[in-house]
Amino acid sequence: MKIKKDDNVIVISGKDKGKTGKVTLAIPSDNKIVVAGINIRKIHKKPKSSGQKGQIIDQASPFHVSNVMFVDPKTNKPTRLGVKMVNDKKVRITQKSKTEV
């Protein structure tokens, strides 16, 4: 999975198509990510004690990484990511502008 935490991504399919956001959580075992402000679900919480009320909380849910594309920091357009070897280390690069990420 080439998308990592704190990457800026744009949604390319689904109900939030066209929205951009920052990845807050990456789940590589399931190929899923959580993006701030995207794929919001309402969670109903029960009261913890007898004096409190229940709550409805908006929470970002994970979705598949194939539904997003990385945003190129140079051009602010969606691009694919590649890998290049630099000094025996793998470095992520953007396919359009060939800049290191």
Domain positions in the chain: 8-73
**How many CB atoms are located within 10 Å of the residue 65 CB?**
19
pLDDT by residue for the chain (101 residues), tens only, comes to: 899 999 999 999 999 999 999 999 999 999 999 999 999 999 999 998 888 999 999 999 999 999 999 999 999 999 999 999 999 999 999 999 999 98
Query: What pLDDT does 50 receive?
Result: 86
As a whole number of angstroms, the distance between CA 35 and CA 43 comes to: 17
Q: Element (H or E) spanning 20, and its range?
A: strand 20-27
Top-tier CATH class for 8-73 = mainly beta
| The model's pTM | 0.83
